[in-house]
């Protein structure tokens, strides 16, 4: 399915570890996956997540957003909708699991660009799970 969206996206997808790919696939199968508060926490708790998964999902989200923003007309309306759904799902997984200041800043920038102020508010609520060193890193950035 990801291969339908272009070579760069397929390349980033193929570089994901199976566990990271599984996180995204499970999130895509969950109803309302783009709303992290309503997600099934048993699936989220059973999936391994680490700094490498953070980096991989961040790269995937960047590639998804770049492809979705391309205006060359090569992307059909239906595929564009699917692409945005996958990107929103990836962002929701990151929002739910990240503890990285860099990824958090990426999510805030993404929400600001989309003028999604409810998402920015939800991200602000997530700051409580960050280590003090990560919050300091956010302040510096």
Domain spans, the chain: 2-140
Identify the pLDDT of residue 2. Answer: 84
Would you list the DSSP string of the chain? -GGGG-HHHHHHHHTS-HHHHHHHHHHHHSTTTT-GGGS-HHHHHHS---HHHHHHHHHHHHHHHHHHH--SS-S-HHHHHHHHHHHHHHHHHHHHH---HHHHHHHHHHHHHTT-HHHHHHHHHHGGGS-HHHHHHHHH-
Higher pLDDT, 79 or 1: 79
What pLDDT, on a 0 to 100 scale, did the predictor assign at position 6?
A: 84
pTM of the predicted protein model: 0.83
Mean pLDDT score, 61-79 = 80
């Amino acid at each position: 399915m990801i291969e339908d969206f272009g070579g760069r996206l397929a390349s980033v997808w193929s570089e994901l570890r199976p566990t990271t790919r599984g996180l995204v696939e499970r999130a895509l199968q969950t109803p309302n996956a783009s709303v992290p508060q309503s997600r099934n926490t048993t699936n989220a708790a059973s999936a391994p997540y680490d700094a490498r998964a953070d980096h991989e999902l961040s790269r995937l989200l960047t590639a998804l957003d770049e492809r979705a923003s391309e205006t060359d007309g090569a992307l059909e309306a239906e595929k564009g909708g699917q692409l945005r759904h996958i990107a929103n799902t990836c962002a929701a997984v990151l929002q739910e699991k990240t503890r990285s200041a860099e990824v958090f800043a990426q999510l805030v920038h993404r929400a600001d660009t989309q003028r999604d102020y409810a998402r920015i508010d939800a991200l602000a609520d997530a700051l409580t799970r960050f280590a003090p060193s990560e919050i300091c890193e956010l302040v510096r950035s």
